[in-house]
Structures are given as structure tokens and as C-alpha cells.
Structure 1
């Protein structure tokens, strides 16, 4: 149904047939922020696709830092410039949905990656390329449940409050820990279901800011001496390796004994090193390189009038200290 909605919109703006399109394409890959090592990998994938696809330019452009309004402005500027296609990871799903309507009205193919639009806006974009975000939350929670079968006190940490991908991950965590449907994303906080209770002050909102993420983790671990699990839906918690190590090191013995778990999304190189060094109890990784790489192929298909699958999931890597040397997809 979503594909039909998108096809109808594109037909209404008279998208020219494939043979009438120019041979060269300028496609934009828009991250939430350009100071983010996760999105650096997506950029590298985009540039790799540029090398392989004749006549395709990867225009990697986004806010220097995680700024929702700046991302909206960048997308609006790309529409005004008349780029040939836009792939965006929305920081603010409702606002980006409104902005992308102008792209479709201008005949510019649009897709999302990493993060998606709200359900009611998904007909605007052709497809989503990335992780099934709910499953990230499910797998983060499964690691916690394996280590703490009786439950306990948990603090969740997330990205932007309006980021659909992080809200879906939160719901995946809450549904899995509680054993029931906790409602629309991000789900309702846990208050004893299956033995799990969310502590006051959580979830911690980071706005994808690594310094804010570290400070939030440091404060909650100091405040909640009997915390069972700290679960983060994004890599921001561990981006700054030295700062994270300093924050986690005092709790290494508790983590090793099973008294405390720190479990974080993503499997960037510094995160895998932290896992192997006993400063993390689990990582659930996405594949950002593949997201950026596949986005260029999808946009080329769309620009040439071809249909594409929706959604396109890029898979997950679930890593623990037991499989840290073999868990990453090749």
C-alpha cells in the first residue's frame, strides 16, 4: 500500500520516463550529524557506491552537530537546488515528513535510512534502508535478561526525543523486558513487569551528544548504587573512548560479577575494543556502511523510474564477550 501511495504521488508530479532522465545524478545522503563516527561509516559506503556507479555523485551533507532545525534547512536547500534524489536519516520525524512533501511535489525521489518517518508519513518516501530498529531494542533487552533473569532496576538512555528510530528501540526494550506490548513507541516505562523497574530520571535524553551521554551515564551510576542494567540505544555513550573508559572502569568488577550490566547499541571499532576489555557486557550493531552504500543504488533505481523494495533491512550483529571475535558480519 505504501509503495502504491508513493507511486501515485510521483505520477502526479509527472516524473519523466527512464529514457528521458539525465545520465548523471547528484544524490544527497543526509545524516543527523556529521560529527558522528556512525554516520562516517555511512558516508564511506556512499562514496564507495559513487566509485562503482557511473554518473552518480554522492553528496554527503548534514548538520555539523545534531541540530534538528539545521537538518530541515539542509533538506529544504537541497530541494531548492534540484538534486536528483534525497536519502535522509530524520532527526525529527514529524518535521522531516512535512519537509519531504515539498521534495516529492518537485519530482525528487526521496527515501529514509537509519531512521524513518512516522507511520502516517511513510507514504511520502519510497523506502527505508537500514535496521529494523525495534529489533535493536529486543536484542539489547535479551542480553540484559540473560544476565539478570530475575530483573532489577534499569536505566535506559536514548538519542533525540523525537527520533523515530530511537523510540522504536525503546519500545523493543520495554516490550521484551516486560513480556507485553507497552504501547506506541517509545512504549510506557516499566514499573515492576517481569521484575524490571525503570529508575527515576530515565530514560536519559542525549540528543546524540557524546559528552551529554557520558555525563548522564556517570550521574545515574553514581546515584543508583543498586542499578542492575544501563542500556543505551545508541553509540553516543561510547564515542569518546577515553571518557567512556574513565566512566565505566570503576564498575568493571560489578560488570564482571554479573551485579551490573552496561549494554549499548552499535559495534563501532572503539566499542568492540571496550567490549573485549570488559567495559561493556553487550553490543547490538548496525551496518551503517551498507546503509550509505545501498542508498545510492536505491536512489538511482528511483531516478530511473524503477520500483524498489520497502523496507530494506541491513541486519544486525549481536555481540557479547563470548563471541566478540566472531560476531561481526564480514
Structure 2
């Protein structure tokens, strides 16, 4: 993972040796420095700099979502300000592929230089994205990818293998040696990242060390708080012997934690997933949840913005092996199919959660 000048990053790196999982923290950040990758010149004449005045639009799965507020408004917006671009965020209030299409079309008509999008469906928005690219926009996906032919680069928050192995390891540790039935509470049924993680979790569960864990159901909360709460409630009604729930989505894990914390299942049914410290702090401290994982979403948006800026400035094309600098995060290398890896997930527990604020 690229270096970060943050106190939280130092903590994460220290724990890497013990936990073999890492992600950056966001507490106590120093003032970031401007990106100086090698390549084409900028409008101001500085060699290798991102052009000034780029219009960079973020289109998350849904607005008013704490995760995307952190990634876009606390990460992408900061990065765009650093390279003197024009930042905006827009999108549907519900996670809907069809709704995203209309926003893409509008952003294209408005002459966006960069569209940064988290896809609700890997194929449904491809036509609109390719039309936007034909009109001159560079497209960067983040958090959830499209078909690689529909974008110029993808910012992968962590490897699918790393996420899957961490989720199964955490639920196994929480449930204990006796194992038992577990379930998955996912986001939308078509979410590219969720489906990849779930398939790899199944592969992980096939390993001998997890032979006592039995996956009995996968349900979908559609990244809606109330529906996720109801799906968690429904799992316990249908599977009274359930020992654990994995919810690899920030909305779902917080909703499930809220349900468990006020139910008779608190302490009896274990929960882990992907969540933010601010969402999960109370549930960690009241012992509803023992541990969960995530990367720093603000770093994800920050990296996505710099990637879009580098693409729109001609510093990279999205070809495997290309290198560029993403401000305070340092140097990154473009991987296969234009994928750029932020890093591995970090595990949050009662012992470290107060070191992070996002």
C-alpha cells in the first residue's frame, strides 16, 4: 500500500506485522503535498502536473450514504482541490442502476472531464459510460466496478481475496471453535464487488479450518437501512440456530448491529462485516460486535480523484504497468485491466477503534 502521512496510518502499519491486515487511518493528517507524476505538462506549465480546472464529478451508488460521504466529500473533494479542479457529487438517493444512467447522461452533457462512479450494476450503465467517454470524459470506477470495457480505470479498495479471507477469519474467531450456521447480509443482488466477495467467501469456507462453519443463507438489504434491519431480523426468525452474520456493506452491518444490540440475540449471534468506525463504535463498545474491517473510504475517493486527474491530463492511459503519484498517498501502479489497488482491509476492535475518526 502507498505511504500515508497520518497518525492512523502509523497505527495500521504497526498492526500489520501482527494482523497481516492493513489500511490507513485518517486521524491527525498532515497537510498534503501536490502530486508531481512524470508525464505531460499542465495548463500552468508545470511539467508532469495534473491540469488545472478539470471538472471532476463523483457519482456514488447512492448519496446521503455515510460511506460515500467519506469517500467523496472527505476524500475526492480534497484531492480535486489540491490539483485545482472543480469538484461535484451527484447521484440517486436509492441504489439503482437505471437512476445512475440518467445522471451519467447529464454529467456528459455538462462537459465533465472526469466521471468517478461506483456501479450499482456492472453492465447496466455501460452504454451511458461509453457515450460519456466518446464525448471526452475519462471514467474511473471505485468501490464497485463495471465491465472493464466501460471505463478507463478501476480503484479497487482491497483485493477480493483479502476481503473474503478477512471476513471468514473474523466470523470464525467470533463464533468460536464449535462453529455453526452463518449467513451473509449483502447489499444489492447485482453489486459487482459484493458478489465477488461472496463467491470467494464460499471458497474460503471450503478450507479444512472452517469445516465447522455452515453458510445457510445470503440475503440482500439493497444498502437500505430499514430493509437491512428487517433482513437481519428475518434471518434470526428463519434460522433460530444461527451463530453468526457477515455483512460486507457499511449500511448492512450497521443495521444488523442495531437490531442485534436491542434483541435477545446480543452476545449469542456474532456479527462482522465492513463498516466505518463512527458507525460501529457504539456496537463495539457494548460488545454487540467484536471486530469488523474496512479500508479508509476517504483515501479511496482521494485516489480515485487523482487517477481521474492523471487520465484527463494525459499522464496515464490506464495501461498495465503505468505509474503515477496520488498526492499524499504516494506512487501507484496500474494493474491488469486498468485496476489500481488501494490496499488490504484493516481490522477494528475495541482496543483500536478510538484511534480512527471517519
TM-score by length of 2: 0.73
72, 75, 78: which one aligns with 2:101: 72
Aligned ranges 1:83-94 → 2 under 5 Å: 83-94=112-123
Deviation at 1:37, TM superposition (A): 0.6
How many residues are aligned here? 289
Distance (whole Å) between structure 2 residues aligned to residue 162 and residue 133 of structure 1: 19
1:45 paired to 2:58:
no
Q: In terms of mean alpha carbon deviation, does 168-177 or 107-116 score higher?
A: 168-177
Partner of 1:185: none
Higher relative helix content:
1
Structure 1 runs of 4+ off > 6 angstroms?
19-22
CA RMSD in angstroms comes to 2.6
- 1:276-291 alignment runs, 5 A limit: 276-291=285-300
Do structure 1's residue 164 and structure 2's residue 173 form an aligned pair? no
CA distance in structure 1 between the aligned counterparts of 2:184 and 2:168, rounded to whole angstroms:
11
Distance 2:167 2:123 in 1: 26
For 2:41 and 2:133, locate their aligned partners in 1 and report how far apart those are by CA, in whole Å: 17
* SS of equivalent residue, structure 2 residue 223: coil
Is 2:229–2:258's contact at 8 Å kept on the other side of the alignment?
no
Matched, 1:303 2:303: no
Which gives a bigger RCO, structure 1 or 2 (Cα 8 Å, sep 6+)? Answer: 2
Residue 286 of structure 1 contacts residue 317 of structure 1 at CA under 8 Å; is this kept in 2?
yes
2:327 match: none
Q: Distance in 2 between matches of 1:303 and 1:296?
A: 11
Counterpart CA distance in 1 for 2:42 and 2:170 is 51
Question: CA contact under 8 A between 1:252 and 1:278: conserved in structure 2?
Answer: no
Give 1:244 deviation, angstroms.
Answer: 4.5
Q: Is 145-154 or 42-51 further displaced after alignment?
A: 145-154
Measure, in 2, the Cα distance between the counterparts of 1:252 and 1:133. 32
Q: What do residues 225-256 of structure 1 show as CA deviations (whole Å, max 9, x unaligned)?
A: 2111111111112446xx9535433246534x
3-state SS of 2:262 partner: helix
Query: 3-state SS of the aligned residue for 1:254?
Result: coil
2: distance between equivalents of 1:291 and 1:88?
12
Distance of 2:177 and 2:101 partners within structure 1: 43
Unaligned runs of 5+ in 1: 1-16, 181-192
